[in-house]
Amino acid sequence: MFGIISKSLKTGVVTTGYPDTPAEVSSHARGKPQIDWAGWKDARPAAAVCPTGAIETRDESGARAVTLDLGKCIFCGLCADVDPAIRMTNQRALAAPSRESLRQTARYGLNADGTQQPLLAAPAASDAKPESLETVGRQLRARIQAVLGRSLHIREVDAGSCNGCEVEIHGLNSPVYDIERFGIHFVASPRHADMLLVTGPVTRNMELALKKTYDATPDPRLVVAVGACGCSAGIFGRNYATCGAVDAVIPVDLYIPGCPPHPLVILDGLLRLLGRLEDRR
C-alpha cells in the first residue's frame, strides 16, 4: 500500500491543462490538408494518390469541380507529397454539426491539357470550425441542460471500426485526458446513456445491433460519429458487407473526423457541442 501511494505522489498530476490552456498539438502531427485553391493547377495527381477519395474531381462542359471531403480524409499526406499546392497542417479539431460542412468544393475553368485554371469559385467558407459548432451547442444546451444537468453519459458503439478509434476513445479515460473531470462518463448500457459515440463503417452485421442500441437509448439522445469511417465510411466505403457511414443508419448530431481522431479532438468536439466551453469565457 505504501508503495502504491508513494508512486502516485512521486508521479504527481499528469492531467492535461486543457481546456484552461490551449490544446497542446505536436508540430509533427499530421492534420487537415491546406490547399492553395487559387494557385491549384491540376487536382488529378492528388486525387489519384488519395486512398479514400477525399479529393475528387468532376469535369463537365469545360469546367471542373474539385471537392475536398474532410469527412473522408485520413490525413495520410500522400496528396501533399505529389502536389505543391497542398500542405499538411497540424490542425485536427474539425468536428462539425453537419456532413455537408466537411466538404469544400471549388470550381475551375478546364483547359485542353487537362489542367484547371482559373479559379471560378472558391469553396464557400466552411463552417467546419469550432465557432459554428458552438452555435449548434447553444441551441442544444438549453434542451440538454434541462434534462441532463451538467453530466453526460456516453455509450460507445463500435459498429464496424478497425479498433483504431477505440484506442483513442480509451485514451479519454486515461489520467492524461480524464474525461470524468467534466462529469462525462462512459456507461455500460445504452439505457443509461444520453449520447452514443459511434465508430464505423456500419457493417451489415452490426446494422441491427446499432439500431437496437439507438432505440434503447432514452430521449433526448445525441449521436456522435467518430473517425473517417464513422463520418463517411472512409476507405471501406459502401460495399457488400457495409451499409456506409453512421448517418446511413441513424441520425447524427456531430461528426468528428480523423483516422483516428486525437482524444483531445473528441473531447473538444463534445464540450463545444454541449456548450461547455462558452461558460469559461
Residues 73-102 that bind other proteins (CB under 8 A): 74-77, 88
Q: Is 143 exposed, middle or buried (0-12, 13-18, 19+ CB in 10 A)?
A: exposed
Q: Measuring CA to CA, which residue among 64, 44, 170 is closest to residue 119?
A: 64
Query: What's the rounded Cα separation, in Å, for the pair 268 and 149?
Result: 19
DSSP, collapsed to helix, strand or coil, labels residue 161 as coil
The answer to whether residue 185 forms part of the interface with other proteins (CB under 8 A) is: no
Please pick, from the candidates 112, 142, 146, 188, the single residue that binds other proteins as defined by CB under 8 A: 188
Question: Which residues ranging from 17 to 56 are in contact with other proteins (CB under 8 A)?
Answer: 26, 28-30, 49, 51-52
Q: Is the dihedral of CA 262, 268, 271, 272 positive or negative?
A: negative
| CB of 202 vs other proteins, minimal distance in Å | 10
Out of 54, 159, 267, 270, the residue judged to bind other proteins by CB under 8 A = 159
Contact 246, 200 (CB under 8 A): yes
Out of 169, 195, 224, 273, name the contact with other proteins by CB under 8 A: 169
How far apart, in Å, are the Cα atoms of 224 and each of 40, 72, 196, 255, 274?
Answer: 34, 16, 6, 6, 12
Report in angstroms how near the CB of residue 11 gets to other proteins at its nearest: 7
When binding is defined by CB under 8 A, the residue of 18, 37, 182, 186 that contacts other proteins is 186
Q: How far is the CB of 21 from other proteins (least distance, A)?
A: 16
* Rounded CA separation 259/47 (Å): 18
262 is a site residue for other proteins (CB under 8 A): yes
Residue 110 or 229 with smaller CB distance to other proteins: 229
Residue 58 as a binder of other proteins (CB under 8 A): the answer is no
Q: Which stretch binds other proteins (CB under 8 A): 36-44, 135-143, 162-170, 270-278?
A: 162-170
Which span (106-114, 137-145, 173-181, 271-279) binds other proteins, by CB under 8 A?
A: 173-181
The interface region with other proteins, picked from 109-117, 119-127, 169-177, 267-275 by CB under 8 A, is: 169-177
Per DSSP (E only), the strands in the chain are 33-35, 55-60, 63-69, 86-88, 103-110, 116-121, 152-158, 184-186, 195-199, 202-203, 222-226, 242-244, 254-256
**Which of 47, 121, 137 shows the shortest CA–CA distance to 85?**
47
Stretch in the footprint of other proteins (CB under 8 A) among 124-132, 135-143, 151-159, 266-274? 151-159
Out of 33, 137, 201, 230, the residue judged to bind other proteins by CB under 8 A:
201
C-alpha cell of 251?
Answer: 441520425
Alpha-carbon gap, residue 59 to 121, rounded angstroms: 15
Site for other proteins in 231-250 (CB under 8 A): 234-236, 238-242
Query: Which residues lie near other proteins (CB under 8 A)?
Result: 3-4, 7-8, 11, 14, 26, 28-30, 49, 51-52, 74-77, 88, 155-171, 173-176, 186, 188-190, 201, 203-209, 213, 229, 234-236, 238-242, 259-260, 262
